[in-house]
């Protein structure tokens, strides 16, 4: 792999806090190695800003290996940037070339208010999980793990849905800021497993109610969420959610 | 004298006896008792959920934006449990034995046996929660092998086991939050322990969004704050992983156990340049199928695929025929370092070895072709099938490798090198997971307890969940049963005011320095000292130098650090400054501990103490103890020793040959 260095222009969203109006600011960065990660490029810029006595750019990040779901930059109009099935932290500078201008914004959604610069508040996702994204089994209640064989295909499918990292890229990509891929993934994960059966109906009803309360928009099946999801969560999870919701509605006890 | 409070009686019965006789808190009283839990990884989330379910009033804190981000999420390979589902001779005793041996005979028999006993319950609990572990076609759970064992006892969910287990614990925690049993504080950092008359009564936390300091009362405080690998700057830890909560507890009187025991993981993606901010692990599970080698010829510049089989040195298979590529981590790391130091390293930095899947692809490919009824499959057909199998097993890891390096590991062997991964050391705790400070507990990686001088693969997840789901619910009750007689302390008590003032003074001092050098620069300097002088190999001279250098670094930090922004706002640079200040102090203690331990054991390798073959040479006569350090003053610690007594296992030289 050939390595190279590049000079870039960055247009970055700066916003002091939730009440500030915010604006784009332009920064030039030079001698960026193609081997760097996108966030390491931001580290270089921030070091310079600190040295110059300016305010560094706030951004969320933690594991930097694509699994914690904390990083969340909207890069050139795409959540997590140009690579497929990728998180911001795993985007590397070889995706860009010398002279490029890169625009970086926070996730934009009513339900994800900006805290500062590129940092948003995604606790709405936690509250959706609180509404029903679990199996009610207290510690100590479990029977032997192998007493309940599960069809491998179903288990694999449940795993594929459970691989969601809760980053919110699906919401950021959607023109309506719908959270249906996130919610659909959790509904699928738990509905596909026999352990999830007892709470199947209430779970989907409660999670959808909470989702609406948080101010997420409606799904119009554009598929932007699936296309941008760093973990390749399939849009069929939304279809399953719709089916679960319909079934729960039709067969509700009340 | 340190009392570990190991229950008397035969090893097999200790935990059962303890559970049968520990004090209980009745349901009405549980409602009145408040427990603070700091950190929401596997240990913290499982403890918070379990204690909430039991009826305690729980407050949980994490510095991330959600408990689901904790770095347990990044654990890849799996979780051990003595289920013996594979009928390959596993048992509680085997898991216990492997863990003690893997830890190079520097852990407690009582603790480790309990860990092995509850391991099976963890798998049951997680499956009940809906954790989608890998399964066989018959619908039953699948297992794989990990380093340092000869049985298949590792349960896994592709290369994302930590993620799935954490999501399970997180969901259980969120359920308790919804029920009102747990109150969650996201983006909060614990900055002080509040003690009154020697008893822990709460914490001071800082809201990282507003910068406000908060006082929180608790009848007990549980630190579940993970390891301190980031003292090395570069490690496989998350950027935010830090020692601050544990360090504040240490300075408030809690002893720090075995700080020098750090685990250097053999299979990580090598450093690519000075810009590097973190290192990425390639799961140990890859050593099930990957073969590690370097060229037989020094300084060989040929591409790996051009080097013929007979000119490759599969040095782990050569040196350790019994365990081969699946030797424990410390052994594999040192062997890689040895080859690179001798000039056999590969890649542009020459600080890397190959991890090669070509043989596995062919082996699996032939089996699959056979299943498809192909008698004489072509090489392409074999490769095609083989790649599919390897993809199913390790696909996400291969993708991650390709994203970082730009190379396709299905075609070219991975380049790997050891990196800091885990810390066996941590706050000293007794059998009940209580530190020597009353009411202050420590769980998971943050404590020192179960892994001795080296942790076996897939055992960190096991320990975190064992502590949180199955140990602390019993042991904390044994303390809290007496707490029902004491009234909750109001947070306007002078002890809270003093603790808050100490925190605010420290922050103001940091902000007031207004020097020229960034926090990051100091962190990098510390990391360089630690990696070079207290890393994979240590010696007395280097450690003495390191101690002086760290003391100088500390002075420089406190006179020249530059922190932008203000205190009453979202200011990640300020958060980081506090953490690096604590890492600097910890670094000094790690070097002091490493210097004091005149032997090699597990992850602690002192160059002066090795066998003629270069293996670690323990000194059981003089160092069969836990080093528990008490903070006295700046640069001054007192060593307390907890002797390790082996009643069941006879310590021998660790042999993986």
Encode pLDDT of B529-546 as tens digits: 999 999 999 999 999 999
Please choose, from the candidates B590, B617, B612, B603, the residue with its C-alpha nearest in 3D space to the C-alpha of residue B329. B603
B239 chain-A contacts, CB cut-off 8 A: 61-64
Does residue A1 register a pLDDT over 70? no
To the nearest whole Å, the CA of A47 is away from the closest chain B CA by 7
Specify whether B284 is located in the same domain as B405.
yes
* Closest residue of chain A to B41, computed from CA coordinates: A68
pTM attached to this predicted model: 0.97
Q: Tell me the C-alpha to C-alpha distance, in Å, between residue B253 and each of B177, B448, B639, B643.
A: 32, 16, 13, 21
Specify whether B312 is located in the same domain as B397.
yes
Mean pLDDT to the nearest integer, B562-590: 98
* Closest residue of chain B to A117, computed from CA coordinates: B570
- Structure confidence at residue B656 as a pLDDT band (50, 70, 90): confident
Instruction: For residues B279 and B273, give the distance between their C-alpha atoms in angstroms, rounded to a whole number.
Output: 11
Please choose, from the candidates A119, A109, A96, the residue with its C-alpha nearest in 3D space to the C-alpha of residue A12. A119
* Closest residue of chain A to B412, computed from CA coordinates: A1
Mean pLDDT to the nearest integer, A227-253: 95
Instruction: For residues A151 and A193, give the distance between their C-alpha atoms in angstroms, rounded to a whole number.
Output: 9
Mean pLDDT to the nearest integer, B469-479: 98
The packing angle between helices B540-560 and B494-513, to 10°, is: 90
B158 chain-A contacts, CB cut-off 8 A: 159
Tell me, yes or no, whether B206 lies in a domain: no
Interface of B with A in 16-55 (CB under 8 A): 46, 49-50, 53
- Structure confidence at residue B393 as a pLDDT band (50, 70, 90): confident
List the single best residue of A64, A139, A148, A190 to mutate versus B (max B Cβ within 10 A): A139
The confidence score (pLDDT) of residue B532 equals 96
Chain segment A174-203, per-residue pLDDT in tens? 999 999 999 999 999 999 999 999 999 999
Specify whether B276 is located in the same domain as B400.
yes
Instruction: For residues B586 and B553, give the distance between their C-alpha atoms in angstroms, rounded to a whole number.
Output: 13
Residue B91: exposed, middle, or buried by beta-carbon count in 10 A (0-12, 13-18, 19+)? Answer: middle
To the nearest whole Å, the CA of B504 is away from the closest chain A CA by 22
The confidence score (pLDDT) of residue B204 equals 98
Q: Residue B366's domain spans which residues? A: 267-418
**Domain stop point among B418, B438, B457:** B418
B183 chain-A contacts, CB cut-off 8 A: none
Please choose, from the candidates A246, A193, A182, the residue with its C-alpha nearest in 3D space to the C-alpha of residue A219. A182
What's chain B's average pLDDT?
A: 96
**Within B373-427, where are the H helices?**
379-405
What's the full length of chain A, in residues?
254
Tell me, yes or no, whether B576 lies in a domain: yes
* Closest residue of chain B to A33, computed from CA coordinates: B275
Does residue B262 register a pLDDT over 60? yes
List the single best residue of B56, B77, B129 to mutate versus A (max A Cβ within 10 A): B129
Interface of B with A in 466-485 (CB under 8 A): 469-470, 473
Token pair 């190695």 is found at: A33
Mean pLDDT to the nearest integer, B259-272: 95
Chain region(s) in chain A for CATH 1.10.1060.10: 123-250
List the single best residue of A63, A165, A193 to mutate versus B (max B Cβ within 10 A): A63
Q: Tell me the C-alpha to C-alpha distance, in Å, between residue B204 and each of A254, B249, B473.
A: 47, 12, 24
Residue B103 contacts residue B602 (beta carbons within 8 Å):
yes
A121 chain-B contacts, CB cut-off 8 A: 65
How many Cβ atoms are within 10 Å of A195's Cβ, its own excluded? Answer: 19
Interface check for A18 against chain B (CB to CB < 8 A): the answer is: no
Mean pLDDT to the nearest integer, B38-43: 98
| CATH number of domain containing B584 | 1.20.58.100
To the nearest whole Å, the CA of B174 is away from the closest chain A CA by 5
Specify whether B604 is located in the same domain as B514.
yes
The confidence score (pLDDT) of residue A225 equals 98
Chain segment B55-114, per-residue pLDDT in tens? 999 999 999 999 999 999 999 989 999 999 999 999 999 999 999 999 999 999 999 999
Specify whether B381 is located in the same domain as B515.
no
Instruction: Tell me if B238 and A166 make a contact (CB, 8 A cut-off).
Output: no
Interface check for A197 against chain B (CB to CB < 8 A): the answer is: no
Specify whether B280 is located in the same domain as B387.
yes
- Structure confidence at residue B148 as a pLDDT band (50, 70, 90): confident
Residue B557 contacts residue B581 (beta carbons within 8 Å):
yes
Residue A104 contacts residue A72 (beta carbons within 8 Å):
no
Residue B376: exposed, middle, or buried by beta-carbon count in 10 A (0-12, 13-18, 19+)? Answer: exposed
Q: Tell me the C-alpha to C-alpha distance, in Å, between residue A200 and each of A133, A135, A152, A187, B27.
A: 10, 9, 20, 8, 30
The confidence score (pLDDT) of residue B392 equals 84
Instruction: For residues A53 and A41, give the distance between their C-alpha atoms in angstroms, rounded to a whole number.
Output: 19
Domain spanning A5-116, CATH class: alpha beta
| CATH number of domain containing B279 | 3.90.700.10
Domain spanning A123-250, CATH class: mainly alpha
Does residue A157 register a pLDDT over 70? yes
Interface check for A146 against chain B (CB to CB < 8 A): the answer is: yes
Establish how many alpha carbons lie within 13 A of residue B340's alpha carbon, considering only the half-sphere containing its beta carbon. 24
Number of separate domains in chain B? 2
Give CA B51 to chain center in angstroms.
23
- Structure confidence at residue B655 as a pLDDT band (50, 70, 90): confident
The confidence score (pLDDT) of residue B498 equals 98
B562 chain-A contacts, CB cut-off 8 A: 50-51
What's chain A's average pLDDT?
A: 97
Task: For residue A12, list its beta bridge partners.
Answer: A25, A104
Interface check for A86 against chain B (CB to CB < 8 A): the answer is: yes
Q: What is the CA radius of gyration of chain B?
A: 24
Interface check for A145 against chain B (CB to CB < 8 A): the answer is: yes
The confidence score (pLDDT) of residue A254 equals 57
- Here the tokens at position A157 are 């499918």
- ipTM of this complex prediction, to 2 decimal places: 0.98
- The values of phi and psi at residue A212, to 5°, are -65, -40
Please choose, from the candidates B96, B70, B50, B279, the residue with its C-alpha nearest in 3D space to the C-alpha of residue B163. B70
To the nearest whole Å, the CA of B394 is away from the closest chain A CA by 14
> B199-207 and B440-442: which strand pairing?
unpaired
Four-CA torsion B169, B173, B175, B179, nearest 10 degrees: 160
């Amino acid at each position: 792999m050939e390595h190279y260095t590049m000079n870039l222009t960055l247009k970055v969203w700066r916003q002091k806090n939730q009440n500030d109006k915010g604006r784009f600011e332009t920064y030039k960065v030079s001698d960026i190695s193609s081997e760097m990660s996108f966030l390491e490029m931001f580290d270089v810029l921030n070091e310079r800003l600190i040295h110059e006595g300016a305010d560094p750019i706030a951004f969320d990040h933690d594991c930097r290996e694509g699994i914690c779901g904390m990083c969340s930059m909207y890069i050139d109009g795409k959540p997590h940037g140009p690579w497929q099935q990728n998180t911001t932290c795993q985007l590397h500078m070889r995706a860009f070339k010398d002279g490029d201008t890169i625009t970086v914004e926070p996730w934009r959604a009513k339900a994800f208010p900006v805290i500062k610069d590129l940092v948003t508040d995604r606790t709405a996702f936690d509250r959706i999980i609180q509404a029903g994204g679990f199996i009610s089994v207290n510690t100590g209640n479990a029977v032997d793990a192998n007493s309940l064989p599960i069809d491998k295909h179903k288990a694999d499918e449940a795993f594929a849905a459970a691989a969601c990292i809760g980053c919110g890229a699906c919401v950021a990509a959607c023109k309506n800021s719908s959270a249906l891929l996130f919610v659909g993934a959790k509904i699928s994960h738990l509905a596909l497993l026999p352990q999830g059966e007892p709470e199947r109906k209430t779970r989907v009803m409660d999670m959808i109610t909470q989702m609406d309360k948080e101010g997420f928009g409606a799904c119009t099946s554009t598929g932007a969420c699936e296309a941008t999801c760093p973990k390749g969560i399939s849009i069929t999870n939304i279809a399953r959610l719709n089916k679960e919701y319909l079934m729960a509605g039709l067969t509700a006890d009340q | 004298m340190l009392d570990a409070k190991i229950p008397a009686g035969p090893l097999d019965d200790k935990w059962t006896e303890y559970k049968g006789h520990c004090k209980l808190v009745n349901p009405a009283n549980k409602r009145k008792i408040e427990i603070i839990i700091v950190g929401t990884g596997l240990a913290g989330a499982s403890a918070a959920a379990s204690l909430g379910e039991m009826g305690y009033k729980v407050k949980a804190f994490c510095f991330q934006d959600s408990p689901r981000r904790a770095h347990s999420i990044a654990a890849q390979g799996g979780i051990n449990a003595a289920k013996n589902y594979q009928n390959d001779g596993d048992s509680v005793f085997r898991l216990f034995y492997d863990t003690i041996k893997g830890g190079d005979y520097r852990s407690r028999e009582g603790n480790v046996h309990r860990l092995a006993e509850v391991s099976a319950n963890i798998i049951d609990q997680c499956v009940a929660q809906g954790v989608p572990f890998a399964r066989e076609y018959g619908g039953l759970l699948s297992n794989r092998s990990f380093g340092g064992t000869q049985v298949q006892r590792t349960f896994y969910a592709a290369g994302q086991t930590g993620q799935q287990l954490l999501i399970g614990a997180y969901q259980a925690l969120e359920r308790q939050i919804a029920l009102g049993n747990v109150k969650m504080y996201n983006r909060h950092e614990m900055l002080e322990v509040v003690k009154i008359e020697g008893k822990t009564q709460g914490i001071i936390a800082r809201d990282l969004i507003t910068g406000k300091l908060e006082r929180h009362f608790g009848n007990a405080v549980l630190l579940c704050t993970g390891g301190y690998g980031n003292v090395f700057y570069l490690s496989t830890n998350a950027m935010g992983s830090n020692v601050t909560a544990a360090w504040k507890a240490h300075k408030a009187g809690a002893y720090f156990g075995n700080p020098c025991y750090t685990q250097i993981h053999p299979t990580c993606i090598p450093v690519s340049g000075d810009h590097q901010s973190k290192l990425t692990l390639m799961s140990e599970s890859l050593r099930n199928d990957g073969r590690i080698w370097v060229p037989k010829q020094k300084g060989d510049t040929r591409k790996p695929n051009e080097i013929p089989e007979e000119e490759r040195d599969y040095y782990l298979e050569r040196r350790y025929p019994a365990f081969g590529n699946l030797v424990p981590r410390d052994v594999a790391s040192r062997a890689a370092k040895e080859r690179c130091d001798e000039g056999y390293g590969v890649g542009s930095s020459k600080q890397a070895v190959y991890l090669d899947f070509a043989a596995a692809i062919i082996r699996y490919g032939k089996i699959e072709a056979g299943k498809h009824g192909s008698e004489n499959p072509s090489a392409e057909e074999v490769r095609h099938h083989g790649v599919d199998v390897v993809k199913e097993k390790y696909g996400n890891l291969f993708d991650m490798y390709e994203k970082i390096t730009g190379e396709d590991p299905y075609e070219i062997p991975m380049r790997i090198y050891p990196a800091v991964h885990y810390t066996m050391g941590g706050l000293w705790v007794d059998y009940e997971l209580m530190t020597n400070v009353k009411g202050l507990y420590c769980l998971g990686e943050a404590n020192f307890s179960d892994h001795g001088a080296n942790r076996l693969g897939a055992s960190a997840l096991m320990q975190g969940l064992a502590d949180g789901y199955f140990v602390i619910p019993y042991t904390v009750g044994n303390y809290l049963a007496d707490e029902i007689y004491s009234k909750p302390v109001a947070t306007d008590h002078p002890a809270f005011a003093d603790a808050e003032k100490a925190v605010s003074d420290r922050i103001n001092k940091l902000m007031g320095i207004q020097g020229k050098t960034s926090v990051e620069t100091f962190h990098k300097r510390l990391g360089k000292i630690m990696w070079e002088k207290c890393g994979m190999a240590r010696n007395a001279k280097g450690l003495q130098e390191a101690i002086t250098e760290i003391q100088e670094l500390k002075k420089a930090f406190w006179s020249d650090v530059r922190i932008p922004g203000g205190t009453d706002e979202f200011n990640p640079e300020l958060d980081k400054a506090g953490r690096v200040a604590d890492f600097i102090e910890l670094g000094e203690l790690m070097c002091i501990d490493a210097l004091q331990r005149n032997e090699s054991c597990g992850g602690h390798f002192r160059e002066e103490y090795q066998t003629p073959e270069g293996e670690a040479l323990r000194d059981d006569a003089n160092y069969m103890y836990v080093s528990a350090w008490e903070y006295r003053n700046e640069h001054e610690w007192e060593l307390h020793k907890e002797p390790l007594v082996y009643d069941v296992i006879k310590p021998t030289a660790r042999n993986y040959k």
